[in-house]
Chains A and B, each alone.
Chain A
Amino acid sequence: MPADRDGSPASPAGRHPLRNLWRLRHYLRPYAAEFSWLMLAGLAATGAGISVPLVAQRVVDGPVARQEPAGLVRLAGLALLLGLVEALLIFVRRWVQSSSSMAIEAAIRDDVYAHLQRLAPSFHDRWQSGQLLSRITSDLSVIRRFLSFGLFFLVLNLVTYLVVVALLIRLHTVLGLVVAGSAIPLFVITRRFARAYHTASRRMQDQQGDVATLVEETAQGLRTMKAYGRGPELTARFATSARTLHDTGVGKGRLLARTSAKLDLVPNLVLGLVLVAGAAAAARGALSIGELVAFISLQLMLTWPVQGLGWIIANGQEAATAADRVREVLDTPPAILDAPHAVTLTRAEVTGRLRFEGVTFRYPGTARAVLRGIDLTVEPGETLALVGATGCGKSTLLSLVPRLHDVTEGRVTLDGHDLRDLRLSSLRRVVGVAFEEPTLFSMSVWENLTLGRPEATEEEVRATLALAQADFAYDLPWGLATRVGEQGLSLSGGQRQRLALARAVLSRPALLVLDDPLSALDVHTEALVEAALKRVLGDTTALLVVHRPSTIALADRVALLDAGRIVAVGTHSELLAGVPAYRAVLSAEPPPPVSAAGPAPDGRGLVRS
């Protein structure tokens, strides 16, 4: 299935392909000085490497021709020295560089992660985590390889090329210029290659993201897959994606093969040319044989810089497209941010009056309003229950309170402050949430519980666990130090829900937002939790989503939500008496015959009746 990329800003045509790579340069800045002297070391190493054939020429022309054994030893010693210096410089460069390039990679990775944590849930709804994952793993390592290897060798190889060509021209002008002329076909070849490879590498990276997405999804839906025995179907679906990736890989390989062979051919042909012309010159006496040998061996030094060009450009293009992909994430502005003059609220200041004023909400990129014209006030200390049929917008309404989404129209206020004028961190400190799907992380029970209040004491944790009927946590193999969550012990739905409830309560919120907090509990446990919750809710403003009449007992007032609108507000008994739709949405009794004749057996149809 194709990846959903509607969250990615389309890259406008005509922008320079390396632009985004260039924009990552500030990560390189702390290492700029280091990088330049390492570059010098690299150049010096190359210089030392180049000198060795020159020394060899001296040997051939000097001591050997003049029959001087002493000079031979001296020059061989020089070659040895140069060789050792070259190796030492390479060692220093690589040693130092490996640490800076890894540090750069880690810095970008941390920044991308930090940014992703700031992006609102609506972003994460749109972006599959596989696509995000491939960005922080394979894309970043491509960029790291370019910074530590590609970029360096690009510069080094160019400089080597220029120096060697200059030396060749000095050795023999005409032959040297012949070699210099080979730059023209090389340029044409690499340019064409760079363009084609750019497209291919972007395609490949996106497809890698698609594969990662499929894998992630399979991992998530593993039980469902097992329950239906749909392994063959998923395998077939995966095979399609994997094959697409394979085809792109083969295409890339073909492209690289073609270019790489051409980059081999050009210097070879030039070498042949030099040999012929050089031999002719030597025959005329315009060139000593030693000079010709030196010329050719120097020219052979160009083989690697030219051959390597193919890989370096490939690497550079991959880094460029990887940088594009990383930038797509980093350039997405967080939709939910602190306003410039955001106010900090402390827990003590909050009285807890929560108002929804003319709130309309649409999920970004959709036309349908999920909530329409919501006006609702929850007084300080009051517990308000939201009741309504499946899919009527209750959970969405709750998500507005901790600002997981921002309203499309209207406003939500806490003690008169528009939520958008509050510091996000201070708002979320005073709001405690338990979602309908209790999220536990692969961490100790303790860490999971104290998510919202790391400073909680042992006593507080114990009290909260008792309240949520979650004392079972102490009986886990390692007590509260036991790792739970996906990577740890698997807990039942009811156990997870109780821990999530304890977590919400433990943060001592001024405003408690609970989404169907007791749905997975049995009647007996539910009654116990309810009794305890009632005590907590006494002085806390609370907004609950509730499906069962039993849980409604917790609420002072109830609001009935239907298709994104509030249709009635009042106490449970008032609504029960005066609003038939309310009775219908809670009642276990079959609806009266009139509505039973309605076409839809689902909840909404019943509410409308």
Chain B
Amino acid sequence: MTANADDLTRWRGVAVEPDADRSRAEDTDPEAVSRLRSLSRVLLRDLLRPHRRQLGVAVALLLGQNAAAMAGPYLVMLGIDRAIDPLRADDYRPLAAVAAAFVAASAVEYAARRGFLTVSARIGQAVLLDLRQRVYAQFLRLPVAFHERYTSGRMVSRLTSDLDSIGELAGGGLDSLVLAALSVLSVAGILLWLDLPLAAVTLLAFPFLFALSRWFARASAAAYRRTRETIALVIVHFVESMRGIRAVQAFRREPRNQQIFAAVSDDYRRASLTAFRLIATYSPGIKVIGNVTVAAVLCYGGWRVLHGATELGVLAAFLLYLRRFFEPMQELSQFYNSLQSATAALEKLAGVLDERPGVPEPARPVPLPAVPHPGGVAFRSVTFGYRPDAPILTDLDLIVPAGQTVALIGPTGAGKSTIAKLLARFHDPVAGTVTLDGVDLRDLADADLRRAVVLVTQETHLFGGTVAENIRFGRPSADDAAVQAAARAIGAHDFIAALPDGYATQVHRRGGRLSAGQRQLVAFARAFLADPAVLILDEATSSLDVPTERAVQRALGTILADRTALVIAHRLSTVEIADRVLVLDAGRVVEDGSPERLAGAGGRYAALHRQWRDSLL
């Protein structure tokens, strides 16, 4: 175990934020664990609440089924004790009555069981659907900072593997669980009614059952929590290596990857094994208790019959009922297991659902004022850092009047992208405010903010679907003509038209067939279609060839004419369309002015500009 773990930590390196893989509700101390448990219980109640009526129906059906099932042995007893003697006297009526009752009971049991299983499957699936959608929506709500910490693989794990293990329970476990509990109770009742002393012997088994179950519940909760965590690592590694398969193959990473995969997969195997061994102990444990009880009843019951304290039929019924008593317990132990696994998964999901968005929607959103020229942006005394100990921006003041195109320039780490992300409200400043037309971004409804501000980055993501759908992502209500017009405006129309199915071409997995430059063009068209008041371009043209970039630039000249724009580019060509240049260094504005003025001012921009002019043809 340790050798394995050491190896794992070495290749994985040290995470900057420890426990980054946990949601905040998921700390490891006992207090957090119990909090998570109660959270998951609240969640479960909440999920079941809309199905109260159906649950009532299910329980009624279950009771019906149970009663019918329980009638069986009783009718057998009646048949043996009361119908055989009359039969000897050629009186068929008692037997006929018993037989009729038996058929009726079977019919009721059939109908009730079928009804119950249908209803409970419906409830289970509805709960699962509800939970799946809630968790998905929650992941979408959580800020970028959370996702950077939590990572996509783990999100995938939560929404697939964890939900699957809850689904397993919904698929066919819950009924056995309830049924077992019910039949245990009703059998106990019947036994008490049949023969009190004999029942007392039987009930002696209860404390043992209880103690054993309690032990199992505790031990398996911990074990299953561990399986959830280890499967997440398997999924994370899997997703990541499939996503980077080109690099994996080009660098012959396969053997090492295989090692790592085998190691994480082995951790998962081990965790599951622990859980399975618990159930491998628990389930025969129940059996031992059951069998000892049967032997005791046999002994004591036989003795009572011998002494005429009870009837033979009662003993026979007792033995049959005991079977009905412990067999569901056996099934219960199986499904108790699924329940534990599902509970562990539910805890993880409850942890995610409990996570408070760090960039929350305002409780009372302020509408954007109707100004003649929208898009005025202001940073006032903004301080921000991804980690508290390393501020990127300190006390930044920046005012961009509506309609101005501003270029941000500076070395890596100067804070250019951070400014872009703050303006797109991927993060909130630690101190100070970012405002749009005088409204603090934190007071804007997300929908309003997104309509007004769009960020295009160098990493362009294309969603599964057609090229047209991907462009339409910028404005879902746009018709085909508008989509094409956007593509034309940005100079993407020709290559799209040349694709096998034109705009209807499926971009496949992460836009597999489009080159990086083409993807950037699609992303540009998307942003153009979105028609925001403020456009932020973060290295959005880096993969374009010079003429295409120039075409985009030309298009930008018109597009940006009446909009506020923040352009980050290493290529100064992009800067030429700017009204104003800001040179940043270590989170501070060191130069500020029009490109013409700065180019002649002899500062950093002038130096960069000269270098850039030299690099051109």
Is B476 among interface residues, defined by CB-CB distance under 8 A? yes
A166 interfacial by beta-carbon distance below 8 Å:
no
Are A102 and B272 closer than 8 Å at their CB atoms? yes
Number of interface residues of B (CB under 8 A): 197
Q: Assuming the A-B contacts A90-B283, A522-B570, are A391 and B518 also in contact, with contact meaning beta carbons closer than 8 angstroms in the complex?
A: yes
User: Nearest-CB distance from A574 to chain B (Å)?
Assistant: 14
Interface residue A250 (Cβ < 8 Å from any Cβ of B): yes
Chain A residues within an 8 Å CB radius of B514: 391
A534 at the interface (CB under 8 A from B): no
Determine how close the nearest CB of chain B comes to the CB of A386; give it in whole angstroms. 11
Q: Does B336 contact A (CB under 8 A)?
A: no
A330 to chain B, nearest CB (A): 15
Task: Say whether A124 faces chain B, with CB atoms less than 8 Å apart.
Answer: yes
Contact B247 A435 (CB under 8 A): yes
Q: Quick check: is A283 within 8 A (CB to CB) of the other chain? A: yes
Contact with B along A425-440 (1 / 0, CB 8 A): 1001101010111010
| Contact (A83, B292) CB under 8 Å given A229-B449, A253-B125 | yes
A interface majority secondary structure: helix
Contact A257 B303 (CB under 8 A): no
CB-based closest 4 A-B pairs: A253-B121, A83-B291, A229-B450, A444-B13
Identify which of A69, A227, A433, A435 gathers the most chain B CB atoms within 10 Å of its CB: A227
One of B449, B459, B494 near A223 (C-beta < 8 A): B459
Interface string of A124-147 (1 = CB under 8 A from B): 111111101110111000000000
Partner of B281, one of A91, A215, A275: A91
10 contacts between A and B (CB under 8 A): A56-B319, A83-B295, A121-B245, A130-B160, A132-B242, A215-B136, A226-B426, A253-B171, A289-B84, A585-B545
* Cα-based distance from A279 to B137 in the complex (angstroms): 63
B539 to chain A, nearest CB (A): 6
Whether B391 sits at the interface, judged by CB under 8 Å, is no
Docked CA distance A243–B544 (Å): 41
Q: Which residues in B have their C-beta under 8 angstroms from that of A44?
A: none
A80:B291 contact, CB within 8 angstroms: yes
Q: Is B455 an interface residue (CB 8 A)?
A: yes
Shortest Cβ distance from residue A23 to the other chain B in the assembled complex, whole angstroms: 22
Q: Are A444 and B125 in contact (CB under 8 A)?
A: no
Contact pattern, A 389-433, Cβ under 8 Å of B = 1, otherwise 0: 111001100010010100000000000000000000100110101
- The chain B residue sitting closest to A437, CB to CB, is B516
Q: Which of B461-503 contact A (CB under 8 A)?
A: 461-465, 473-474, 476, 491-495, 500
**Smallest Cβ distance from A514 to chain B, in angstroms?**
12
Q: How many residues of A contact B (CB 8 A)?
A: 208
Complex CA distance for A521 and B548, rounded to whole angstroms: 19
CB distance from A436 to the nearest CB of B (A): 5
The CA of A67 and the CA of B302, in the complex, are separated in Å by 10
If A69-B303, A98-B280 touch, does A547 touch B544 (CB 8 Å cutoff)? yes
B87 in the interface (beta carbon within 8 A): yes
Contact with A along B234-254 (1 / 0, CB 8 A): 111011111111111111111
The digit string for A346-389, where 1 denotes a CB below 8 A from any CB of B, is 00000000000000000100111000000000000000000011
Whole-angstrom distance from the CB of B278 to the nearest CB of chain A?
9
CB contacts (< 8 Å) of B493 on chain A: these are: 600, 602
A463 within 8 A of partner (CB): no
From A103, A138, A254, give the contact of B121 (CB < 8 A).
A254
Q: Is B182 part of the binding interface, using a Cβ–Cβ cutoff of 8 Å?
A: no
Contact, CB under 8 Å: B95 / A242:
no
Central interface residue in B14, B303, B545, B546, by most chain A CB within 10 Å:
B545
A237 to B315 Cα, complex, angstroms: 61
Point out the residues of chain B lying under 8 angstroms from A194, CB to CB: none
Does B588 sit within 8 A of A, measured CB to CB?
Answer: no
Residues A443 and B13 in contact in the complex (CB < 8 Å), given A231-B141, A389-B545, A391-B514: yes
A59 closest partner in B (C-beta): B302
Q: What are the interface flags for B1-25 relative to A under an 8 Å C-beta threshold, 1 for contact and 0 otherwise?
A: 0000000001111111000110000
Q: Is A527 part of the contact surface with B, judged by Cβ < 8 Å?
A: yes
**B152 near A220: Cβ-Cβ < 8 Å:** yes
Give the shortest distance, in Å, between B447 (CB) and chain A (any CB).
6
Task: Name which of B34-42, B260-268, B374-382, B397-405 contacts chain A.
Answer: B260-268
CB proximity of A490 to chain B, nearest CB, Å: 6
Question: At the interface, yes or no: B284 with Cβ under 8 Å from chain A?
Answer: yes
Please state if B246 and A522 are interface contacts (CB–CB under 8 Å). no
Shortest distance from the beta carbon of A99 to any chain B beta carbon, whole Å: 6
CB under 8 Å from chain B, chain A span 99-127: 99, 101-103, 105-106, 109-110, 113-114, 116-118, 120-121, 124-127
Contacts of A82 in B (CB 8 A): 291
Bound form: Cα–Cα A523–B612 in Å: 7
Tell me if A322 is interfacial: C-beta within 8 Å of chain B.
no
Min CB distance, B252 to chain A, in Å? 5
A64, A264, A482, A583: the one within 8 Å of B306 (CB): A64
Residues of B within 8 A of A55 (CB): 298
With A and B bound together, what is the CA distance between A94 and B276 in angstroms? 8
The answer to whether the Cβ of B305 comes within 8 Å of any Cβ in the partner chain is: yes
Q: Which of B48-56, B549-557, B593-601 contacts A (4 or more CB under 8 A)?
A: B549-557
Q: Establish whether residues B266 and A253, one from each chain, have CB atoms under 8 Å apart when the complex forms.
A: no
Given A137-B164, A523-B570, A600-B491, 19 extra CB contacts under 8 A: A4-B509, A56-B298, A72-B306, A86-B291, A87-B288, A98-B277, A124-B245, A133-B239, A221-B461, A238-B136, A253-B122, A272-B102, A428-B251, A436-B543, A487-B15, A487-B240, A523-B608, A524-B411, A576-B617
